[in-house]
Structures are given as structure tokens and as C-alpha cells.
Chains A and B, each alone.
Chain A
Amino acid sequence: MSALISPPAPSGAVGRLLRSRLAAALATPHTVDRYLERFNPMWAAHEVRARIVSVHRETAGQDTAPVATLTLQPTSTWRGHRAGQHVLVGVELPGSAKRLTRAFSISSAASAPGEQITLTIRAHDEGQVSSYLVREAQPGTILHLSQAQGEFTLVESPATPTNNHLLFITGGSGITPAMSMVRTLLRDGYDGRAGRKVTFLHFARSPEDQIFAEELAGIAAADNDVTVHLRHGDQVFSEFELRRLVPDHRNTDTWLCGPAGLVDLVRDAYTDGEGELSPRLRMEFFKPAVARTAQPGETVEGEVSFTRSGKSAAATGASLLEQAEELGLKPEFGCRMGICFSCTRTKTAGTVRNVLTGEESSLPDEEIRICVTSAAGDCHIDL
């Protein structure tokens, strides 16, 4: 069954019926979606899935990672998004059939329920999901989505009765949520005549690596009171320059999204003499702390953090279950030999080793059996 010619997801009366308590009771112990998905991946009563409509190459990425914009048609269950929000995207990688889930910002303007959205993604070298989506994904591919989430959103709109100056500071692919905000403002009729300025300051590695270059040039050239400052290569962020562009930046609503280095510099610029960070600065970054992996045979170095309980200890090579118990935690367990899955927990970040197979893994948000898993570097366990 081709997803391209499939009928639209059931909505209206059919949708209401499928979401009813009667339908849920008839489908028990499974959910209605577990039946619908067998017949058409774009039919859903509760979950959100999306079909890739088109893939547009943004940068060629000769020296750096390529970037592409994916246009997605979500199922009718999509509730829409506010500018600046992100979605979790689940992808079944060909060859392994494993579904991996990652967060990506939405780059298109705020959407209404069921409306198309775009994701603009950079193919990171180690990122299996981003590489697949940028390099291999084809129109027609079905992705699993979450509803939009995140509070890094635009509160202003052309209709908002304020004359706040808005400032966006972004680096690399951190431009996407800010782009969604600017696109939303312009689409909804923002023209600068209300006396509100928008300043967009963006850092890219090189002019070739600049995403949305043409559109940004268009926005900058138009008479709309949006000023765009693009900085490339060695032109790193400086407080001096920021003060020149936006003298009262600490009292300006600012959205910051970019790599760790940029975030650190901007944070310093928004911290006053007494060490107080300006409440006007909003930040977003997705990348979890990168953990170092122990080489085979090397003694494990790293810290095991049980994030829910707030306890941590140096990795000893013992199983994570034993390490948790040594710290006085009482996680659920069963067989203690990896067969019963009672002790399954989520590793949110870091590197672990399966003691049965010796296999190491650094995937974020991975389910692991803590009785047969040990730390192979820093790691965070949801326990």
C-alpha cells in the first residue's frame, strides 16, 4: 500500500468514533491505533505519524555536514505547534529496523492542527538519525512524531500590544527555532510599523554553510524592521559587538540557541556584575553532555549518575544495579542475569557496556537492563 496515495487520516465523525471510549473498550487490551496502523500508517486516532512530502537540500556540505529541510505531512492527530517548539522524531533505520528517537526543532512557522511542518536538520557524523534523514530519507517515508513540546517559544505576535524589541542569537543549526519565530511573525503580518524591532544575529562556520541564506537576505532587504546580522568563520560572538548592536541587551527579550561555546559566551554577556543572569535570556540546547568511552581493557573512568534520586558514584565496572544498591537505592530487579527484564531502566546519556555481550553503546534514551550493564564512562540513568 503506497503511503503517497493513501486516503487522509479519519477525522470528523469517524475520528471522534475512533477516539471514543467504546472504540477503546472494543480494542482492549490493545489500542485503536494498533489496529489502524496495520492497514494504513497515516491512520491514527491518538498517535502522531508523518509522511515525508519532500526533501530540500539546504547546503551541500562539502567541508561540513550537509543540511536538508524535510516537509512533513502529519496525521490528523497533530495538534499544531507554537514557533520555537520541537518534536521527537522516531525513525526506523533500514537494515536494522530499530526505531531511534531524536528531538528536532520545527523550522516552519507556527502550525494549526493537521498542517504541514518542516524540519531543518544537519547530518551529524555520529548522528545515525540525522544522517539518515538528510542523506537517505525519501518522500513517502513514514516517521513517528510526538506532539510539539518545549517552552522555548515566541510569546509575541503582530497582535500583541507591546513594543518590545526582540533579539535572536543563534549558531549553526540552532537557527531553526528562531527561524520558525521570525517566519511566524512575518507570516502573521509583522511589518515593523508598530515600532518593534527584531534583531537576528547568527553565527555560521562559513558562507557555504549558511542555512536559509537567500531567505535571510530577502528578510534583511525588505522594509520590515527586521535586521539580520550574519557572522561567518572567525567572527565569534563578543559582548562588545552585541552592546553596539543592541545597547540594552540585558533588558531585551532574547532567544539563544546554538552550540555550547556560543551559549557560554552569551550567558556571560547577560550576567551582570553581581553574577545575576538576566531573566530576559531564554536558552535551548539539545545535545546531552558527551561522555568519554573507555577503551577495551582500560579501567573504566567515569561517573554514574542516578538522575532521579540525585545520587552518583565513580564507575567501578560492577553492574549498574549493584552500583545503585551500594548507594542505598532499591531499584526493582528479578533474575539478576539479564533474562527477565524486571530491572529495565532508561539510560538518558553516556556510555554503557553490556556485560554479557561486551557491546558498548552511547545512544541517548536507551532502555537497558541494569543487572547486566555496567558503566563504560560517564552515564546518566533514570533511577
Chain B
Amino acid sequence: MTATVTEHDEKYHGLTAEQIEKLGEELDAIRQRVIADLGETDAAYLRKVVTTQRKLEIAGRALFYLPVVGWVPAVACLSVSKILDNMEIGHNVMHGQYDFLGDPAFNSRMFDWDTVCPGEQWKYSHNYIHHTFTNIVGKDRDVGYGILRMDPEQKWHPYYLGNPLYAFLLMTFFEWGVALHDLEVENIVSGKRKLADNKPLYPGLMRKIRKQALKDYVLFPALTGPLFPLTFAGNAVANLVRNVWAFNIIFCGHFPAGVASFSEEETENETRGHWYLRQMLGSANIKGSKLMHVMSGNLSHQIEHHLFPDLPARRYPEIAGEVQEICERYGLPYNTGRLSQQLFSVFRKIVRYSFPGGTAKVSPVRGPGSVTEDSLAA
């Protein structure tokens, strides 16, 4: 990792600066085409998902009134509702994907989602930090979430022997992990951030936690009267199901084998083309059915999402073929696999990096030799 990105003759991940620029232009063209085509179908799709989510939520809340027989379907409805709210609706709306509609209900600055993390704070750590500095070790705090060791570039410490345990806890309490992510506790421990820097974050965080807890753990259970404990437990399970699912989808997006990480030095003076290249090398997809894509908020197309975070996610499947074709032409990896494959790969990494050392598995970039002018002209 010594290549500097400014020198023309040197290659970066197997590509010359000129080739990287061309790559960027090709991706910009895809982006342009999709933007020009945005309209009623995207609005209709979003409204349909929202209507489905609202109906499931209402059905879930209502089914808790049926003791015994109602509990399992109630939890199922509420879990799916929370997953849709967080992933296909919340994550995507808060990326500004539907700002073009001009509807305040789906405006990135006004929307908030059904988790304890305030949308406002998440947008800073996710939309800005994670999507700008994707997989740059030391800058992108989603690499290990400040808790895990997920990359050989992160210095080993005996603390990391607990990697699998921390991952399990993060999965279980994922919404809390996301909520506390902005407080950058690890940076406070290491002295990079002052405790006082967090002060402005507390009121918003407390307000959101209070509202979420009041709804799920006091009001809705209380409304079911004597069934309070069952409803309380059901709401907790629904939150848990959402946490487990969201954690797994998100970890499959960036941590399977073959995903590259970057250093701050090599990403200085990046061009738009370099940024695109980093997004491609730093993300991974999950193969699956249409239902699987919807339930993951189309983050099963993490590569496309990272290239075009502000395009409506429902467009990712339709451009995935083209993106993959571009990757092939440029000799770049297009990291994809079934959910079980990607999960196993992530799990292995979590266990491996709990021990010292570890080498970054060289990404299967085919290098300069395999990329010819002819193939680029295609």
C-alpha cells in the first residue's frame, strides 16, 4: 500500500489514474441516467412500502390483545414492521433518496426512524463520516464500530480476545450501539475526543430514548391491561429481531473476506474516480430473492448503495448488472455471495482478528495486465 494516487504512471489497485477517471465517468453516466428517470414509480413504490409497514405495525399492536394465539403473529408483524421502517424506509429516506419528491413526510431533514438512535445524529456518523471515508481505517468508525477489531491495520490488544463476545452483544443491542456510536466512547478513552464534545448530543439522545422506551415498554403494554408483561416482552422481542437482522445485513455489507480497507495516506487527494473505486472495493453484496432485498432495504446491494447513496435503493437491482460488468472490465472484484456464505465469512473474520496479527487477504484485483485498452473500450 505505497502507491500514491497523484502520480500518473503508478497504478492504484491495478488501474492507472486515467483508467480510474474513466471508471468514474462511466459510473457518473449510470447515475445521470437513473436521476433523469426518477419519478412516479419510485414514489408509488415508497408509498406502498410505507403503507405495508403501517398496516403491519397496526396489526402487530392489535394482535397483542389476543392472548396466547396472538402473541407470535403479533411479534412477527411488529418485527417486520420495524425492519421495514428502519431499512427500506428510514435508512433510505434519511440518505436523501426521496428528497426529490418534495414531500415533507419523506424529506431527509425531517424524517426520524423507529430506533433509539436520533436520525439527526445518525445522519452525521453514517451519511457523512461512513459514506465519505468508507473503510479508511482510523477515519471510518464503522470499521469495528469502535468496539471490534475487524482489520489487521487495527493494532491488536488483549482486549480484542473478546471480539466474538463483543460482536454478539453488539448484535443483540444493535440499536443501542448505533445510538451510542456518535458519542465516540473509544475516542474519549484514547484521548482523541473530549467528554465535553458530547454534551450537545445528550439532550437529543435522551429525548429519543425516552420516547421510544415510553412507547414500546410503557404505553402499548399498558393499553393491553392485564396482558402488560406479554406485550412488553413481545415489543422487546420485536426490537431484538430487528437488531439481529440489521446487524447481520450491515456486517455482510463491509466485512466479508475480500473487502479492501484503506489508509489515510493513500486516500489523500482522492479524485471522484478514486472515491468510486474505494466504494466498490470496500463493499460487498448479498445474493437473494426480491423479498430479501426489500427486507434489507436493498442494502443487499451494498456496492451499488455505496456508489450512489442518494439514489432510491429500489434502483440498485436494476443497475447491479451494469456495475458488475464494469467491475469485470476493469479487472476489479465484485464481492457477492449468498447470505450464509457472507455471514460465515464475517464470522470467521471476527474470530480471526480477536488474535494478534492477521494479514489483509489481497483482494483479487487482477491487476494491470488483465485490463487492456480493448476491454475498456467495450
B-contacting residues of A (Cβ < 8 Å)?
A: 22, 25-26, 28-30, 34-35, 37-38, 90, 92, 94-101, 334-335, 337-342, 344, 356-357, 367
Contacts and interface: CB of A to CB of B under 8 A. Distances in A.
Interface string B96-129: 1001111101011100111000010001100110
Contact of B219 (A22, A29, A97, A100): A22
A46 to B, nearest CB: 12
Contacts of A339: 127, 131-132, 309-310
B102 A35 contact: no
B108 A341 contact: yes
Contact of A335 (B108, B132, B215): B132
10 contacts: A26-B220, A29-B114, A34-B54, A34-B105, A38-B55, A94-B40, A334-B127, A342-B127, A357-B32, A367-B109
B99 A29 contact: no
A93 to B, nearest CB: 9
Contact of B211 (A29, A92, A95): A29
Contacts of B103: 92, 99
Interface of B: 28, 31-32, 35, 39-40, 42-44, 50-51, 54-55, 58, 95-96, 99-103, 105, 107-109, 112-114, 119, 123-124, 127-128, 131-132, 208, 211-212, 214-215, 219-220, 272, 275, 309-310
A340 B127 contact: yes
A97 B100 CA distance: 9
A97 B124 contact: no
A301 B124 CA distance: 35
Contact of B51 (A30, A38, A97, A337): A38
B204 to A, nearest CB: 12
Given A334-B127, A340-B131, A344-B108, A25 B96 contact: no
A28 B112 CA distance: 9
B32 A101 contact: no
Given A35-B54, A337-B272, A341-B96, A98 B112 contact: no
A342 B40 CA distance: 26
Nearest to B220: A26
Q: Would you list the 3 A-B pairs with minimal beta carbon distance, nearest first?
A: A334-B128, A97-B43, A99-B102
B323 to A, nearest CB: 17
A81 to B, nearest CB: 22
Contacts of A334: 124, 127-128, 132
Nearest to B41: A97
A97 B39 contact: yes
A356 B27 CA distance: 12
Nearest to B97: A341
A247 B99 CA distance: 54
Contacts of B124: 334, 342
Contact of B95 (A25, A30, A341, A357): A341
A339 B123 CA distance: 11
A372 B31 CA distance: 15
A367 B119 CA distance: 19
Contacts of B39: 95-98
Contacts of A22: 219
B128 A335 contact: yes
Contacts of B105: 34, 37
Given A334-B124, A339-B309, 16 more contacts: A26-B219, A26-B220, A95-B39, A97-B39, A98-B39, A99-B101, A337-B132, A337-B272, A339-B127, A340-B132, A341-B95, A341-B96, A341-B109, A344-B108, A367-B99, A367-B107
Grouping DSSP codes into helix (H, G, I), strand (E, B) and loop, the A interface class, with mixed when no group exceeds half, is loop
A101 B220 CA distance: 37
B112 A29 contact: yes
Given A38-B50, A344-B108, A29 B128 contact: no
A25 B215 CA distance: 6
A233 B238 CA distance: 70
Contact of A337 (B102, B123, B275): B275
B40 A29 contact: no
Q: Looking at A94, A99, A338, A356, which has the most chain B CB atoms within 10 Å of its CB?
A: A99
A97 B101 contact: yes
Nearest to B270: A337
B353 to A, nearest CB: 28
A322 to B, nearest CB: 17
A96 B40 contact: yes
B40 A97 contact: yes
Q: Looking at A29, A92, A344, which has the most chain B CB atoms within 10 Å of its CB?
A: A29
B102 to A, nearest CB: 4
Contacts of A90: 102
A90 B131 CA distance: 33
Contacts of A94: 40
Contacts of A367: 99, 107, 109
Contact of A344 (B102, B109, B132): B109
Nearest to B306: A339
Nearest to A22: B219
Contacts of A335: 127-128, 131-132
B32 A100 contact: no
Given A28-B211, A95-B40, A341 B219 contact: no
A234 B209 CA distance: 67
Nearest to A36: B54
Contact of A101 (B102, B108, B310): B102
Contacts of A101: 102
Contacts of B220: 26
A338 to B, nearest CB: 7
A342 B215 contact: no
Given A96-B40, A335-B128, A340 B208 contact: no
B103 to A, nearest CB: 5
Q: Looking at B43, B96, B107, B113, which has the most chain A CB atoms within 10 Å of its CB?
A: B96
Contacts of A38: 50-51, 54-55
Contact of B102 (A37, A98, A341): A98
Given A29-B113, A334-B124, A357 B102 contact: no
Contacts of A98: 39, 100-102
A338 B101 CA distance: 17
Contacts of A99: 101-103
A240 B215 CA distance: 69
Contacts of B112: 29-30
Nearest to B53: A38
Given A99-B101, A335-B132, A342-B127, A28 B215 contact: yes
A38 B43 CA distance: 14
Contacts of B128: 334-335, 340, 342
B352 to A, nearest CB: 32
Nearest to B38: A96
B58 A35 contact: yes
